[in-house]
């Protein structure tokens, strides 16, 4: 029996919280704490009649370590599940450290203000040293490893689908299918249609920052960076069909490059339709993706934050999104001296997710593994002092729980590979 505190109450948290409530045997008490407490109260009202988990709510500004420490010390959770934004990762980790409570999240740290000179100095050095220029990387959170070890607490980073399940798929393949893995292609396909000319399926600010950045991949022990959207492939996704996909930088590449011995190349591809790309290019060209504040009629506004206010809230896309997602890894390596390739993937139907928890499949495929990661930690199955990604533990109990809570997987031992 465990007591969990979830921070944030948006699209992903809505699913993770619904799944926590389906799993009262493990999570008997839950606090939902977020910036807008009315959202936490509304979710509590919806879920309380359906679950044995005792739910409480609170308002918290997760940019304030003091507020977090006060709340954590008052509620005394066994673990804190951070489903706010990557901007809050370090503050929440600091609070967990002070309170000696386990920490779990789904996305790695990036700063809200990318013009902050202190952050920029470190960022520019990292771009030069490592060779990729995404705003996010693991160095900030891996730097907590020793502090977490000394405090005797676990930090589990990136337990969404990608990163999260995709890293577990790699660990699972290494455990059960290969002696050595050489090539990993992670393919993220959203074949869903929400009917809007343009909308993002998770937080627009974080999503647009990610997909408008230069792409990069890991090859022969170094990063290769390319202009945004400059490598395109077509792939015929099981249960979805033929889609265009583009090579992006993605955070699990960094962890897998460190943790999969002998790996020669890791790439990440995501599908986009032409309409999405045209809208994004246009918004970028007129400056709407900028993170630098501008003066407008006496107010300072950040263009990408203003754009977020105009775009549909991803948490409201559930009723109108139809179609399926297919996310997984094509992995090539060696078993008993012979080269082989497998494709391990999950297919998720937007409308089935909506019927079950009231959300579209992107929030669902992130929220379920967030709950499963938290469950691994509180049950002691993935608990050791330090800071880890999901590829660093035994994948079997995680994979089993994923299937039980709505995300089963398929292994194709004769897939089409990506050129």
Which residues sit at the interface with ligand NDP, rule CB under 6 A? 8-13, 34-36, 39, 60-63, 83-86, 88, 106-107, 158, 160-164, 202-203, 206, 314-315, 366
Q: How far is the CB of 158 from ligand NDP (least distance, A)?
A: 6
Question: CA-based angle 92:97:103, to the nearest 5?
Answer: 55
Q: How far is the CB of 254 from ligand NDP (least distance, A)?
A: 13
Tokens of 219: 């090859």
Q: How far is the CB of 62 from ligand NDP (least distance, A)?
A: 3
Q: How far is the CB of 220 from ligand NDP (least distance, A)?
A: 27
Tokens of 396: 């079997």
Q: How far is the CB of 308 from ligand NDP (least distance, A)?
A: 8
Distance CA 288, CA 281 (A): 10
Q: Which of 387, 362, 377 is nearest to 148 (CA)?
A: 387
8 vs 415, beta carbon nearer ligand NDP: 8
Question: CA-based angle 252:414:184, to the nearest 5?
Answer: 15
- End-to-end, the C-alpha distance of the chain in Å comes to 48
| Residue 190 and residue 362 in contact, taking contact as beta carbons nearer than 8 Å | yes
341 vs 375, beta carbon nearer ligand NDP: 375
41 vs 61, beta carbon nearer ligand NDP: 61
8 vs 333, beta carbon nearer ligand NDP: 8
What are the CB-based long-range contacts (under 8 Å, 24+) for 409-413? 409/169, 409/328, 409/344, 409/345, 409/346, 410/238, 410/328, 410/344, 410/345, 410/346, 410/347, 411/177, 411/342, 411/343, 411/344, 412/238, 412/342, 412/343, 412/344, 412/345, 413/340, 413/341, 413/342
333 vs 369, beta carbon nearer ligand NDP: 369
Preceding amide of 163 cis, omega within 30: yes
9 vs 374, beta carbon nearer ligand NDP: 9
Distance CA 400, CA 341 (A): 22
Q: What H or E segment, with its residue span, contains residue 275?
A: helix 274-285
Q: How far is the CB of 46 from ligand NDP (least distance, A)?
A: 15
11 vs 386, beta carbon nearer ligand NDP: 11
Tokens of 215: 């792409």
Of all residues in the shown chain, the one whose CB is closest to ligand NDP is 10
Q: How far is the CB of 63 from ligand NDP (least distance, A)?
A: 4
Q: How far is the CB of 206 from ligand NDP (least distance, A)?
A: 4
327 vs 378, beta carbon nearer ligand NDP: 327
| Residue 362 and residue 386 in contact, taking contact as beta carbons nearer than 8 Å | no
């Amino acid at each position: 029996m465990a007591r969990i505190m979830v921070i944030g109450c948006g699209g992903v948290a809505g699913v993770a919280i619904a799944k926590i409530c389906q799993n009262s045997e493990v999570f008997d008490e839950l606090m939902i704490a977020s910036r807008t407490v009315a959202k936490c109260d509304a979710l509590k009202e919806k879920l309380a009649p359906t679950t044995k988990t005792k739910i409480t709510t609170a308002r918290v500004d997760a940019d304030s370590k003091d507020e977090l420490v006060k709340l954590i010390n008052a509620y005394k959770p066994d673990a804190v599940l951070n489903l706010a934004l990557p901007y809050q990762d370090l503050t929440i980790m600091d609070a967990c450290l002070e309170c000696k409570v386990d920490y779990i999240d789904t996305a790695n740290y990036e700063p809200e203000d990318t013009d902050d000179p202190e952050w920029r100095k470190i960022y520019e050095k990292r771009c030069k040293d490592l060779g990729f220029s995404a705003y996010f990387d693991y160095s900030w959170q891996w730097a907590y490893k020793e502090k977490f070890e000394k405090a005797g607490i676990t930090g589990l980073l990136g337990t969404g689908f990608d990163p999260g399940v995709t890293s577990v798929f790699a660990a699972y393949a290494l455990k059960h299918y290969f002696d050595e893995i050489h090539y990993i292609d992670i393919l993220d396909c959203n074949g869903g249609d929400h009917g809007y000319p343009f909308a993002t399926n998770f937080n627009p600010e974080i999503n647009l920052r990610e997909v408008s950045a230069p792409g990069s991949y890991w090859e022969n022990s170094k990063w290769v960076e390319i202009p945004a959207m400059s490598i395109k492939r077509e792939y015929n996704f099981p249960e979805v069909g033929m889609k265009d996909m583009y090579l992006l930088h993605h955070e699990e590449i960094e962890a897998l490059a460190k943790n999969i011995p002998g790996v020669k190349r890791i790439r990440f591809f995501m599908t986009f339709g032409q309409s999405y790309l045209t809208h994004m290019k246009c918004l970028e060209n007129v400056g709407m993706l900028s993170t630098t504040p501008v003066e407008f009629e006496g107010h300072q506004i950040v263009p990408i934050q203003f754009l977020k206010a105009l775009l549909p809230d991803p948490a409201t896309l559930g009723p109108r999104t139809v179609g399926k997602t297919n996310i997984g890894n094509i992995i090539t390596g060696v078993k008993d001296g012979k080269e082989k390739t497998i494709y391990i993937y999950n297919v998720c139907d937007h409308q089935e997710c909506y019927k079950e928890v009231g959300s579209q499949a992107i929030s669902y495929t992130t929220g379920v593994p967030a709950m499963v990661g938290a469950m691994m930690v509180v049950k002691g199955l993935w608990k050791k002092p330090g800071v880890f990604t999901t590829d660093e533990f035994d994948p079997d109990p995680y994979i089993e729980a994923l299937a039980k809570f709505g995300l089963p997987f398929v292994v194709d031992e004769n897939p089409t590979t990506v050129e």
